[in-house]
Amino acid sequence: MSDTTTTSETHDKILDGITVLDLSTFVTGGFSSGMLANLGAEVIKIEQPGYGDAIRHSGPPFIQGESPYYWTVNYGKRSLELDLKNDRAKEALYELAAEADIFIQNYRPGTAERLDVDYEAIREHNEEIIYLAISAFGQTGPWAERSGYDLLIQGMSGIMSVTGEEGRQPVKVGLPMTDLITAMWAAFGATAALYRREFTGEGECIDLGMLEAALPWLTKQAGMTFAGEDTGRMGTKDPVLAPYQTFETSDGYINICILNEKLWKELCVAIDRSDLPADDRFEMNADRVENQDALEAEIEKTLAQRTTEEWIEIIAEEAGVPAGPVYEVDEALNNPQIDARGTLSELEHPELGAIPVIEHPLKFAHADSGFELAPPLLGEHNREVFADLGYSTEEIDELQARGVFGEQG
């Protein structure tokens, strides 16, 4: 198995020496293996010959035939085409699995068994493997064999019931939120299993369902339900804090977050509305929650007098009250804070030159992190992966001739 020893003196990456085989498509497995790659794991992306991961074709937009959406999930990996209906390709996969640490798939339950890549099949070749089986509803239960995607899970997890405006239809979070939630649980589970393996020498099989992955994130709304209270759509308002929402300014929007009475009074002083705390409707947080519509009208009447930038200077910079603008995506990716932290960088793409990369946020004092490889071309590393496994040029030629990499090799 791979050596997981790291030393802070050399600032190795935490997952240096860990090898991941990722057979997944789209986001749940792909983002999780990307998280592992960022921490130093070698991720080999196993793809369908000639077509690859379906996320490669997710768009528009495309840049010279490449999907930027695909980039964001697949930085730092190597691509290997394997035709898993080809017996020699399956043997080759088993050889790779024998040397790997983590195996990821997000097939619908039953598919891995049909392809002979289920946990028991892979474990025969590597008893210490950490095997991640990701699906919409998990491997058991009455819905296990259903297919499912982010939109379905957002609806079934309750997220859409509390997203959007009161009295209007449920709203999907604009990001593939439950895909990403599941991906983060997957990476967390895999690293936890690696940690346990260091002490026990035992591998692990992790059954991860998207629906269950989303439920712990309900937090506040779950707490309300446990207390017998109703939940619902409130726009940007909060069910237990006020003001804690988006307000309109003269030229845009601003988010203001008031969590206690001290901040409430400081906000009122900053916006020259010291009359508001003296109003019985707005004196304490519970009062403000009960009268949110009236509170919103009073605050927006004042905020409409200046621009968002002016209010940020007054409220956030001068008064120190939590407030921030509502950025467009390009503004979120390009601003002084993000620039100072080095969050957006570049990697050299084999065909397109420098492409943007969003770095992951973990910054360790005694270990390195960060992506080193651009998102791979389909099959870019077909020969390289097997050369690293000890195959000679002639043996790799034979794999190609036998259709292991598909017809185009």
Element (H, E) at 323: strand 323-325
pLDDT of residue 10: 59
Q: Tell the CATH topology of 253-325.
A: formyl-coa transferase, domain 3 (3.30.1540)
Average pLDDT, consecutive stretches of 10 residues, N- to C-terminus, the chain (409 residues) = 45 95 97 98 98 94 95 98 96 98 97 97 98 98 96 98 95 97 98 98 98 97 95 94 98 97 98 97 97 97 98 98 98 97 96 96 96 97 97 97 83
pLDDT of residue 312: 98
The three-point CA angle 170-173-177 to 5° equals: 130
Q: How far apart are the first and last CA of the chain?
A: 29
Catalytic residues, by residue number, are 179
111 CA to centre of own chain: 24
Q: What is the DSSP letter of 9?
A: T
Tell me which residue of 78, 99, 232, 58 sits closest to 159, measured CA to CA: 232
Q: How far apart are CA 139 and CA 106, in angstroms?
A: 11
Question: In 3-state terms, what secondary structure has residue 131?
Answer: strand
CATH of domain 19-217+340-401: 3.40.50.10540
pLDDT of residue 290: 97
pLDDT of residue 74: 98
Predicted TM-score (pTM) of the model is 0.93
Q: Domain segments of the chain: what residues?
A: 19-217+340-401, 253-325
pLDDT of residue 409: 40
pLDDT of residue 407: 79
Max Cα–Cα distance, the chain, nearest Å: 84
Q: What is the DSSP letter of 346?
A: E
Q: How far apart are CA 120 and CA 66, in angstroms?
A: 36
Question: In 3-state terms, what secondary structure has residue 173?
Answer: coil
